[in-house]
Structure 1
Amino acid sequence: MFLTLLDLVGSFAFALSGGTRAVERRLDPFGIVFLAFVASTSGGIVRDLLIGTVPPMAIATWHYAAIACLAGVACSLAYRPIARLAAPVAVFDAIGLGFYAVVGTRKALDAGLSPPIAALLGMMSAIGGGIGRDILTAQTPMVLRKEIYAVAALAGASVVAIGDALGLPDTLTAPIGALAATTLRLVAMKYDWNLPQPQPRRPDEGIDQDPHER
């Protein structure tokens, strides 16, 4: 029940990020709800398929579709109050990132995966919704930029994986992991923390110059 609650909260946060992006792109009401659904369920669907949960929970129950519809309507009717938040898409995305990272890790552990692999799957389920949302709105997914995004999800997922190895309860590790992932993502956004980015080599580098031209 506790994990289900975290999963639904994370889904709603991702759905708000998708709905907000759809309103920014001036999509119609169907497009708003559809993008909210994609953002809120893509990561969970990938997670469930990889651990053998068929059909995935996102399409096996009505709850996730209802959450997407609710978030889409909220974004359509209350976009201006939501937009007053600093970078609303990124804020909602960071919240969903934290919740999905811990839920995905816990479900992977329950499926019998080792803690390191479970943490990786938790990270994958956390970044899936953002990837789907960004691709459908013709943007480079956040995970492919130099921003700290997947690393934040992996940090939160690792808290749950390590806690499970130590025998700690989910009621302790899951909130800490979700808070760690969300906080790291938000702080990285605020202070513009980025992963090192390789510098492309200039065409003239490595070419021996004529001694008379030096």
Structure 2
Amino acid sequence: MGSIFTTSIDLLGTFVFAISGIKLASGKQLDWFGAYLIGLVTATGGGTVRDLLLDVTPFWMTDSTYFLTTGAALLATLLFKEKLFKWPNTLFLFDTIGLGLFTIVGISKSIEMNLPFWVCIVMGTITGSIGGVIRDVLLNEVPLLLRKDIYALACVVGGFVYFVCIRFDLSTSLTELIAASAVIAIRIIALKFHIHLPVLHSIKATNGDKADNI
């Protein structure tokens, strides 16, 4: 990553996203290694898809720090699981923080490649959300991205906030902080006030015909 601040965001995002994966895995009765793999996939899945789309070597193949950070997340979960898991919204909290941080990492890396702003926002959304999708699929859960929750949309809004901050010539660190905070705030506000996108229902059957899904 381009700056020490962005690198710190990347590693912090890896840590909290790995915890979200390990937390969800704990409810599936996986062993420690299985939980570690779920945490690793959660933390690296989005960035891997991003790098493949950008035709660059996936980041974790040139830096073992991400494996070590995921290991630290597993260790922290094992040591403090009584405190972490007793919170009712632990998974939501860590997943939301990871979503905000990784969205910024994806945008920053795309900007370094001089890509159009809309591509940067897409790459930020992919970086933030795809790891959670892979996690949920592996654990036989309906991905958050496909539910009515405000999820990927928060990444998109955070991306626009990022480029608005650039327009006002804010520093890179402040821009990243504001944009990540926007993603996190949108998710928290949506949960607190039960804000979500309309659900797409199937068309009801008539005259004895089977229902068709839109």
Give runs of aligned pairs for residues 41-80 of structure 1, distance below 5 A.
Answer: 41-54=44-57, 56-80=58-82
Deviates more, 1:126-135 or 1:151-160: 151-160
Amino acid at match of 1:61: D
* Structure 1 residue 165, shift from structure 2 partner: 4.8
TM-score scaled by structure 1? 0.90
* Structure 1 residue 173, shift from structure 2 partner: 1.0
2:212 maps to: none
Query: Identity of aligned pairs, percent?
Result: 32
Give runs of aligned pairs for residues 19-168 of structure 1, distance below 5 A.
Answer: 19-54=22-57, 56-168=58-170
1:211 maps to: none
8 A contact 1:115–1:165 mirrored in 2: no
Q: Which runs of 5+ in 1 are unaligned?
A: 208-214
Cα root mean square deviation, aligned: 1.8
8 A contact 1:23–1:76 mirrored in 2: no
* Structure 1 residue 109, shift from structure 2 partner: 1.1
Q: Deviation string for 1:54-98 (max 9, x for gaps)? A: 1x1122111100011111122233222101223211110000000
| Matched positions, count | 206
Q: 2:190 aligns with which of 188, 191, 194?
A: 188
Q: Does 1:203 align with 2:199?
A: no
* Structure 1 residue 29, shift from structure 2 partner: 0.7
8 A contact 2:36–2:71 mirrored in 1: yes
166 and 46 in structure 1: CA distance in 2 versus 1, 3 angstrom threshold: farther
8 A contact 2:6–2:173 mirrored in 1: no
* Structure 1 residue 166, shift from structure 2 partner: 4.9
CA distance in 1 between partners of 2:112 and 2:88 (Å): 37
Amino acid at match of 1:76: L
Q: Does 1:2 align with 2:19?
A: no
CA distance in 1 between partners of 2:137 and 2:202 (Å): 25
